[in-house]
Amino acid sequence: MPTKYKILKKVLIWRYKYISERQFVYVLSVLVGFLAGLGTFILKDLTFIIEELLEGKFIKDYHYSLYFIFPIIGLFLVYSIKKFVIKKEIGHGISTTLHSISKRNGIIERYKMFASLITAPLTVGFGGSAGLQGPAVSTGAALGSNVAQLFHMNAKTRMLLVGCATAGAMSSMFQAPIAAIIFAVEIFSLDLAFASLVPLLLASVSAVITSYFFVGTDVLFGFKLVDVFQVEDIPFYIVLAFFTGIASVYFSKMYFAITRFFARFKSPFKKLIIGGIAIGVMLYLIPPLYGEGYGLINNLLNGDTAKALNDIPYNIDLNNVYMVALMLLIIAIFKAIAMTTTFAAGGVGGIFIPTIFMGSALGNAIAKIINQLGFSVSESNFTLIGMTGLMAGVLHAPLTAIFLIAEITGGYELFVPLMLVAAISFAFTKYFISNSIYTVELAKRGELITHNKDKNVLMMMRIDKLIETNFKPITPEMTFGEMLKKSVAKSKRNIFPVLDEEKRFLGIVLLDDIRPMMFDQTQYEVATVANFMKSAPEIIFHDDTVEKVMQKFKESNAWNLPVVKNEKYIGFISKSKLLTAYRNKLIEVTS
């Protein structure tokens, strides 16, 4: 046995002897928080280094032409790494993490610990219009999962540590430990009980301390609240809420439309070329779309519109408020297009920061228009609350939106408008878009984890683990005597699947239906299986979820239902085994 495995075995033995399960989970949550914080720091630092290299003297001499070229270079590097180094699909961070919790018991492949760490900085650093929060979550979640696997933790603990890593990544990215915990609970539907709350707290604090250690107290948004909330501004905040709701619907619809468009191209290289050129053109015409866009956000928060629009290659009269507001609205509109095109072209990034970017531009533009009409509202406050409205709508995470903006900007005095705008924007968007960008595909497949315990348990169960195959198949041409001799006499079951020569399922014969004739030998050569066969509801493997299977049992009153895969019979699922498996999974998930 290799030395490292001997050491690990000794550590595990020592742990089982001297440390309780709960205490060890606390230790692991601190470790996972530290690793998530470290991963997030490396992610941000690599991106910053690439941006610094590209924005040196060289780019100043060829400024706008390189805005066109750099994203294509970045996407090509990411494509090459995916194809020749990783050789696997990376996926979008939060969506793949949600899938690992709902369908894989929190198991995440090892390569995801470094895949986003390499590819996301190349995507964003070279100008891809995406964020780093999704890749940070993906990296942290993979680290949390693999730490849990290393120490042989059970499925529930493994999923909790994935949630802890998610909170750690968020906490480290924004230095907002409270919002990070809310994010993990709201997006990943974790239980906010004592057993999970303490590990989440430890992971979040561990990650933010790690961030302080490496970068000090420098925050992404260098802004402190100056203008207090005015009650008379409430009607204007309601107007802002509806506009952020409309923008959230637009953001989501645009994401789905562009994703569908690129799905028509089977070749990743073709996607890269088309997407890369499209991104290059957008960045050439609208340079503020380059990268994450923190510069524009901070400049708008600090009231420096001239600096925010400094890179625009047009002669804009900054004294013309309507012209400036129009430019900000154009930037907001095209951010969703540029971000989605970046992903569709093969880039790796997140939607969190682009959402904030779009909200800041929209909120600031609306405030400028309101002020131009003769009223007086705080542009910085509207910029902040516009960010909240977009997050609440696009991400379907109103609580995260409220606490994140309040925590990272010290804007606690704005809780009333933050709550008002987040609630209206979320409700408006939810009416038109039932699931967020993170969850829409999982919801379509019935794989989305929610706060509904019953549905979660059913979703986590695997149909292939429930299938029984000890049934004796028969054919419709078989005589009654042959069936009794070859199948009934040799079977311990009271149901017999009827199949054709190609193993296609045709129906069933129940022992109860033939019992009255079993001793009537005059029927042995006269009757055939076709005389007794009846139809039965089928379970379609890979299409029917366990929840649908439960419904089919309820509607048919059957105790056994056949399972069909590609029209071929593969076995039966019994109601008793299904209920036993459900009870065991419920105990595992809720204990």
pLDDT at 203 over 60: yes
Within 13 A of 338's CA, how many CA atoms are on the CB side? 36
Query: What are the tens digits of pLDDT across the range 361-373?
Result: 999 999 999 999 9
3-215 with 456-590: one CATH topology? no
Report residue 419's pLDDT band, with 50, 70 and 90 as the boundaries: very high
Rounded to two decimals, what is the model's pTM? 0.80
pLDDT, one tens digit per residue, over 365-416 is: 999 999 999 899 999 899 999 999 999 999 888 999 999 888 887 767 888 9
Q: Are 355 and 378 in contact (CB under 8 A)?
A: no
d(CA 185, CA 34): 19
Rounded Cα–Cα distance for residues 59 and 79 (Å):
24
**What topology does CATH give the domain 456-590?**
CBS-domain (3.10.580)
The region of weakest confidence among 68-72, 77-81, 451-455, 487-491 is: 451-455
Which positions ≥6 away from 167 have C-beta within 8 Å? 33, 36, 177, 180, 181, 183, 184, 200, 203, 204, 207
pLDDT tens-place string over residues 253-293: 999 999 999 989 888 889 999 998 899 888 888 888 888 88
Amino acid 525: pLDDT: 85
Q: Where do the domains of the chain lie?
A: 3-215, 231-451, 456-590
What pLDDT is recorded for position 237?
95
According to the model, what pLDDT value does residue 581 have?
85
Beta bridge partners of 583: none
Reply yes or no on whether the pLDDT at 334 is more than 90: yes
Q: Count Cβ atoms within 10 A of the Cβ of residue 343 and give its class: 0-12 exposed, 13-18 middle, 19 or more buried.
A: buried
**May I ask the CATH class of domain 231-451?**
mainly alpha
The residue with greater pLDDT, 480 or 205, is: 205
Strand order in 560-565's β-sheet?
539-540, 560-565, 568-574
3-215 domain in CATH 3.30.930.10? no
**pLDDT 10s digits, 169-181:** 999 998 889 999 9
pLDDT tens digits for range 547-574: 888 888 888 888 888 999 888 899 998 8
Angle at 45 between CA 39 and CA 49, to 5 degrees: 145
